[in-house]
């Protein structure tokens, strides 16, 4: 890649930093999903932040489509929309009171959870 060194460095730095943030956000989401108490404010805050990121991602792709072939462009947009729907589902499930979830699903750990 040729050109002024500052913009080239900035492009690679932004890519590296965004990759790190997305990896950390994804790992944090998995951690939150595997925790026993997924109803905490921190859990919802993480899921809301990731939901907003993917909504922004999908919106940006609609407003400024990437310069890819059409199938790839549509694929990236569909991926963003599916991820938004998954996060919205998780956020919706986190609003169901814990007692209702345990009553409808049973409490497999029962007395071990004290």
C-alpha 51/C-alpha 55 separation (Å) is 6
Residue 94 has pLDDT above 70, yes or no: yes
Tell me what pLDDT residue 37 has: 62
Residue 79 has pLDDT above 90, yes or no: yes
The pLDDT value given to residue 81: 97
Going by pLDDT thresholds of 50, 70 and 90, the confidence category of residue 73 is very high
How far is it, in rounded angstroms, from Cα 76 to Cα 74?
A: 6
pTM of the model: 0.68
pLDDT digits (tens, 9 = 90+) for 27-71: 888 888 777 565 677 888 888 888 999 999 999 999 999 888 999
pLDDT value of residue 29: 84
């Amino acid at each position: 890649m040729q050109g002024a060194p500052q913009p080239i460095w900035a492009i690679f730095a932004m890519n590296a930093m965004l990759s790190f943030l997305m990896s950390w956000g994804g790992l944090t989401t998995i951690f939150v999903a595997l925790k026993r108490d997924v109803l905490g404010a921190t859990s919802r805050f993480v899921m809301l932040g990731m939901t907003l990121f993917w909504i922004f991602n999908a919106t940006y792709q609609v407003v400024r489509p990437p310069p890819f072939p059409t199938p790839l462009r549509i694929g990236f947009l569909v991926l963003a929309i599916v991820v938004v729907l998954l996060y919205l589902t998780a956020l919706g499930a986190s609003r169901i009171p814990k007692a209702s979830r345990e009553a409808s699903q049973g409490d497999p750990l029962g007395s071990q959870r004290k």
